[in-house]
Amino acid sequence: MTINLNGNLDDVETDESYGPMPIGDYYAIVTEAQEKNSQSSGNPMIELELTLSGNEKYNGKKFWHYIVFGMDHSLKSLKQTMTSLGMPTDSVTAVSASQFLDKRCRIHNKHEEYQGEMKDKIHYLKPYQSSSESPAAIEDDLLPHKLFGADLDDIPF
């Protein structure tokens, strides 16, 4: 069977921007949070999936941040993460992954070599702050039509 392409591949431009994104700060929202056990230590941890928003080129790119408990730096890491996400830290004696969902921050990425290639990695989290964009504007960037470039007229609902 042959499929007619209704066009010519000569007319198609590809994205040649492979490789890590520039080092810097990017707005993000926690889109998933799970309680797990660390593969290396077996200790309980919270895994946060952060999705970039507010940057047309990188909207939708995912990063992961881990808070591993039972280690010397665990409470410091937890407090820094919660503070960066705008969460209260006074009198906190227990946490659950669901508390982190939909929280916003900025990530500062760095480049790290992994299996011979340079990859993006969260270096640290920073509080969400923007003088030029409202939180609603950043949230709008997570709508499917903005994440995936669809035309609103093409969405069937």
Each residue of 124-156: pLDDT tens digit? 999 998 545 444 444 444 444 444 555 545 544
Domain ranges for the chain: 20-147
User: For 3-49, what is each residue's pLDDT tens digit?
Assistant: 888 888 876 666 555 679 999 999 999 999 999 999 999 999 999 99
Q: What CA–CA distance (Å, rounded) separates 7 from 142?
A: 31
**Residue pLDDT, tens place only, 79-125:** 999 999 999 999 999 999 999 999 999 999 999 999 999 999 999 99
Asked if 107 and 21 count as a contact pair (C-beta separation under 8 A), the reply is no
Three-state secondary structure call for residue 143: coil
CATH topology of domain 20-147: OB fold (Dihydrolipoamide Acetyltransferase, E2P) (2.40.50)
Signed CA dihedral, 25, 29, 34, 35: sign only = positive
In whole angstroms, give the CA distance from residue 4 to residue 10. Answer: 15
pLDDT band at 76 (very low <50, low <70, confident <90, very high): very high
Q: Is the pTM of this model over 0.85?
A: no
What whole-number distance in Å separates Cα of residue 67 and Cα of residue 44?
Answer: 9
CA-closest candidate to residue 46, choices 93, 81, 88, 84: 81
Find all residues with CB under 8 Å of 93, minimum gap 6, and list them: none
